[in-house]
Amino acid sequence: MRKSKTYSSIIFFFIAQLAYSQVDTNYSQLVWSDEFDYNGAIDPTKWHHQTQIPEGGNWYNGEVQHYTNELTNSFVENGVLQITAIKENYTNQGVTKDYTSARLNSKFAFTYGRIDIRAKIPTQQGTWPALWLLGKNITEPGGYFAATNGTTPWPACGEIDIMEHGITPSEPAGFIQSAIHTPSSFGNTVNHAGTIANNLGNDFHVYSMNWSPNQITFLLDGVAFYTYNPPIKNASTWPFTADQYLLMNIAMGGVAGNISSNFTQATMEIDYVRIYQNALSVTSEAISDFFIPNPVQNVLELPANFNSNHLTLYNTSGQLVLQTTNHTTIELEHLPFGLYLLVLETNNQLFHKKIIKQ
């Protein structure tokens, strides 16, 4: 299992390098992952079971399941995470429901980067498997970050749905959808698109999301099928300037429609979760070739004779915050004060310099 998995991962990596030319930023440094190279309970240093029922005693969208931390609903076996929805009578928090499942929160949150999730998802009638992100600042009770970071309600916190299946009973076979929820469009959002995954339910597929300061692109098996890039980016259309965390779950019923009368259980299998960002390191230290006064304020002026083909700016966490081409005047007004790494590419050479935004 492990040898086969490693070999297929290498193949996908090389295919992805070609496919990711469709996105505006390629992220290459692995910063967080779970390969599920163990058996039993999920790694508690990486995952949180979200089990607290929202106010009113029911989950959102008319869902009818309890989320639990039971091993029957989430466990690792033979290198694969199993999230299983089960038809069973279960009482918790004074509420009895007829189905159980699991809803996992990652204990890692990030701004800008790429997520690859290799998964096999259930397709039974009435199941709603999902791989998605929420703002770390969401006020939702029971979420991993809510107690320490919860300041902003949904949808102002932003939601990025990497993959959903079963969101309407009438969707075509093999259809998976990606969507964006913001204050400008949420719930039955207009910001969504889907594609067909061959042999869905029987084969593993890689579901990916590539998030830059400029756009969010969704990919299936390395092929992009939807990009969200609003022309005006503000708190209403683009609350995606702060950390988001990953959720993985199977919901039951609700907008997914009636659950099949012969349903007993359904499982989403997850082979790996990998998150990539960009490193601060570059290949050249030739900073003496140009001069930039420090600190800078709202405008960065490059030397007039310095013909930069490509400029990128990173914060101290290694997150890409700005990129442009063929400009010598760079607007920095939208960036907070602090230390940044400036990387310039020209004539196949890289130069970098630390700058302070004042």
Task: State the burial class of residue 286 (Cβ atoms within 10 Å of its Cβ: 0-12, 13-18, 19+).
Answer: middle
Exposure class string for 128-148: b at 16+ Cβ within 10 A, else e: bbbbbbbbbbbebebbbbbee
Question: Is position 159 annotated as part of the catalytic site?
Answer: yes
| Given the residues 164, 269, 301, 331, the one annotated as active site | 164
What SS3 string covers 15-42? HHHHHHHHCCCCCCEEEEEECCCCCECC
Give the three-state DSSP class for 74.
strand
- Picking from 112, 139, 92, 86, the residue whose alpha carbon sits closest to that of residue 250 is 86
**How far is residue 244's CA from residue 113's CA, in Å, rounded to a whole number?**
11
- Picking from 260, 253, 268, 269, the residue whose alpha carbon sits closest to that of residue 124 is 260
Strands 65-67 and 95-101: parallel
**How far is residue 217's CA from residue 211's CA, in Å, rounded to a whole number?**
7
Question: Is position 164 annotated as part of the catalytic site?
Answer: yes
**How far is residue 87's CA from residue 77's CA, in Å, rounded to a whole number?**
21
| Given the residues 140, 159, 331, 345, the one annotated as active site | 159
Which sequence positions are flagged as catalytic? 159, 164
